[in-house]
């Protein structure tokens, strides 16, 4: 699906995804500062020992093994035995001299604890937009404890064959205990005008259909499909309750950014995509071929208020109606139409995991263990391209859908561009459409169907941060 990325199709704004084909590399506009490149991350040769004494000791041990090989063994068998003994010797020295498994690059004897996340196949980075959005809600600590216990079950369900149902049950019981013990704290975090709805959701979370009690029953039956469905229902209820608690931004914006548009919460954008060549999109189940298709994007002002706010403003002004799309390496990006409407270049905005406010004009260093609350490494992630003038700023107009592909990602399943772009939302409906979009297809219309009341334009700011 990837096509050549050129200034004629993309304009002058910057975007790059690693692993382009040799034909496409020449047409990439600007290479952002990335945590890895193929040269030093793809070659996993190990520098085992750093001192000559260690190397000398290794040679002596290897030599002693070599000299013990029976001279009557044929050359093939001898070579095999030597290789086995060499590997055993190396592993012994690795265990003795290395504080961590030696998976580092050419310039390191071992990876630091901060870098370990890149090499772990169990890295708990959200793999769906729904999960990323749930984790990004700035809710009551009790609710976050409940959510974390339930989210862990998602990972436990991935274990093949004998699944740890006992651990799953313990997780749900822990969540249930917190929910019951902290009921007053949970409900106290909900605004007065939403108390009734909050009480209903709380009751549903405890023992309603798809609640925690029901989830325990499903786990006891040890039916993974029913557990998965029950878990999804419970997490949906938890997220609804958390959203009631998160009535606005939980941090103060820097003074210099108070006059930017901002989104103080969540919003939903609906886009209708039309084929530019007269062809059709694949039929939905039981339906007909479609000349146009609809996708929905949830944009997150909790983690990226300026970026989401600017995008919502552009959508409401009709800036994306009739805009052509281009397919590039692992992305679908809009053509440059910044002259169509008035827009501003928003600073790069990334909220690190574990932090309570975004960083501005500062990309994350994944190698140092920094991961964003809204990761790029999700199929259907929505982010702004870089500004034509500086990678410290996002484009005032161009955005892209990221088509995450684990086969083209780094260790731990992370995109090589993770933490380098302002991600501000995820495609939550119509993800199957993204892979069918071709260069020349058009955004027929884009509408902000939810969140208009949370969009604060500069004239409304009045030097307020919420």
pLDDT tens track for 221-278: 999 999 999 999 999 999 999 999 998 898 999 999 999 999 999 999 999 999 999 8
Secondary structure class of 73 (helix, strand, coil)? coil
State which residues of the chain have pLDDT below 70: 1-124, 285-287, 337-339, 460-466
CA distance 129 to 120: 21
The DSSP line for 291-351 is: SEEEEEEEEETTT-HHHHHHHHHHHHTTTTTTEEEEEETTEEEEPP-TTTS----PBPEEP
pLDDT of residue 102: 36
Of the CA atoms within 13 Å of residue 249, those in its CB half-sphere come to 24
Of the CA atoms within 13 Å of residue 116, those in its CB half-sphere come to 8
Residue 277 near residue 362 (C-beta atoms within 8 A): no
pTM (predicted TM-score): 0.74
Residues 6 or more apart in contact with residue 451 via CB below 8 angstroms = 263, 265, 266, 267, 268, 299, 301, 312
* Count helices and strands in the chain by DSSP H and E runs: 16, 12
pLDDT of residue 418: 94
pLDDT of residue 30: 36
CA distance 190 to 205: 15
Task: State the Cα angle at 354 between 463 and 113, rounded to 5°.
Answer: 145
C-alpha to C-alpha distances, 234 to 201, 241, 380, 457, nearest whole angstrom: 11, 11, 24, 35
CA distance 405 to 377: 8
- Other beta carbons within 10 Å of 83: 10
pLDDT of residue 311: 97
Q: How far, rounded to the nearest angstrom, does the alpha carbon of residue 110 sit from its chain's CA centroid?
A: 26
Of the CA atoms within 13 Å of residue 380, those in its CB half-sphere come to 23
pLDDT of residue 341: 73
Residues 6 or more apart in contact with residue 87 via CB below 8 angstroms = none
């Amino acid at each position: 699906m990837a096509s050549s990325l050129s200034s004629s199709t993309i304009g002058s704004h910057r975007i790059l995804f690693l692993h382009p084909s040799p034909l496409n590399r020449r047409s990439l506009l600007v290479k952002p500062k990335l945590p890895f490149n193929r040269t030093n991350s793809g070659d996993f040769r190990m520098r085992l020992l750093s001192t000559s004494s260690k190397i000398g000791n290794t040679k002596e041990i290897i030599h002693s093994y070599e000299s013990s090989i029976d001279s009557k063994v044929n050359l093939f068998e001898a070579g095999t035995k030597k290789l086995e003994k060499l590997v055993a010797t190396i592993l012994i020295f690795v265990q003795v001299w290395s504080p961590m498994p030696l998976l580092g690059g050419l310039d390191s004897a071992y990876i630091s604890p901060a870098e370990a996340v890149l090499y772990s196949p169990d890295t708990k980075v959200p793999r769906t937009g729904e999960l990323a959005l749930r984790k990004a809600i700035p809710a009551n600590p009790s609710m976050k404890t409940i959510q974390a216990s339930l989210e862990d079950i998602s990972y436990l369900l991935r274990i093949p064959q004998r699944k740890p149902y006992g651990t799953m049950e313990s997780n749900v019981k822990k969540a249930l205990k917190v929910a019951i013990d902290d009921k007053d704290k949970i409900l106290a975090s909900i605004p007065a005008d939403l108390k009734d709805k909050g009480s209903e959701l709380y009751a549903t979370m405890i023992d309603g259909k798809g609640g925690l009690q029901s989830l325990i029953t499903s786990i006891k039956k040890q039916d993974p499909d029913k557990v998965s469905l029950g878990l999804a229902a419970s997490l949906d209820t938890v997220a609804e309750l958390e959203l009631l608690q998160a009535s606005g931004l939980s941090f103060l914006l820097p003074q210099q950014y108070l006059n930017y548009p901002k989104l103080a919460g969540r919003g939903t954008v609906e886009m209708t995509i039309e084929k530019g060549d007269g062809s059709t999109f694949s039929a939905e189940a039981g339906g007909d071929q479609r000349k146009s298709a609809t996708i929905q994007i949830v944009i997150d002002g909790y983690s990226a208020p300026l970026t989401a706010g600017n995008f919502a403003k552009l959508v409401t002004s009709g800036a994306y109606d009739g805009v052509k799309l281009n397919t590039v390496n692992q992305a679908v990006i809009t053509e440059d139409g910044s002259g169509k409407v008035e827009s501003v270049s928003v600073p790069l905005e990334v909220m690190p995991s574990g932090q309570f406010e975004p960083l501005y004009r500062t990309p994350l260093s994944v190698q140092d263990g920094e991961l964003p609350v809204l990761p790029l490494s999700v199929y259907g992630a929505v982010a702004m391209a870089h500004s034509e003038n500086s990678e410290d700023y996002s484009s005032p107009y161009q955005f892209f859908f990221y088509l995450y592909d684990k086969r083209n990602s780094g260790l731990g399943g992370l995109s090589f561009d993770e933490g380098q772009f302002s991600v501000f939302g995820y495609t939550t409906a119509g993800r199957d459409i993204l892979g069918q979009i071709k260069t020349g297809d058009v955004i027929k219309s884009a509408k902000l169907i939810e969140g208009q009341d949370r969009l604060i334009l500069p004239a409304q700011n009045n030097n307020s941060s919420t």
